[in-house]
Structure 1
Amino acid sequence: MSEEKLKKYICVDNCPVRNVISHFSGKWAMLILCLLAENGATRFSAIGRAIPDISPKMLAETLRSLEADGLVRRKVYAEIPPKVEYSLTDLGGSLMPHLEGLISWAMENFECVITNRQRFVTNS
């Protein structure tokens, strides 16, 4: 991206890049999106079991945020006990090739990043 294009957004209150990316770049959102891409429609409890470190409250908040952005669909079945499934929308699916590229980069460069962090802490 050109510097000129970036400058166009830097001072904008509603920067499209920051606004959109901030919603799926958090600690849990990318994991949830990847899980739904891999598994298809998934129940809340199954997502929680697949990501054991996430609290139910944080899982619910993250799913609500992704649903609000139109990346995740929440389907409620008229059953007792209630059954709710989450899946990617077409918009969420269109994001996945881009996330997969970022994930590949992170996996390839993880050791280097960790080494640099440790070196930085040591030299600080």
Structure 2
Amino acid sequence: MPIEISGIERNVALRERVGRQIRAALEPLRVAPVKAQVAFFDDNGPKGGIGLRCAVTVRVPYRPAIRVENTAATARVAFDGALAVLERQLERYRERDRDVRRRPKKYFVAKRLLGGG
């Protein structure tokens, strides 16, 4: 699965950390994500202040894209916040998938109602 990381070209250690943690967060999914994008933006520009934004977009087959954002003073803190939100979103995704698989299917219920088993 390709992971595109933009906005932190000079910080190699953070790039490696971001790639490693995104892969670890997406590993438990039953389907392989098509693509993951992590983008860092400086909202305030050269003014400084709390304005580094981390946006994470994960594209999963047959589902809408999952997009989360977080803003903080440093790129690492912004990524940690976005990763926490992404993990909660992925947990909801897994719960929905599990609930759908646990529900009895229509043909099974009809067979039971008609006395066939």
Q: TM-score, normalised by structure 1?
A: 0.27
Relative contact order (alpha carbons < 8 A, sep ≥ 6): 1 or 2 greater? 1
Q: TM-score, normalised by structure 2?
A: 0.28
Could you say which structure has the larger radius of gyration?
A: 2
Higher relative helix content? 1
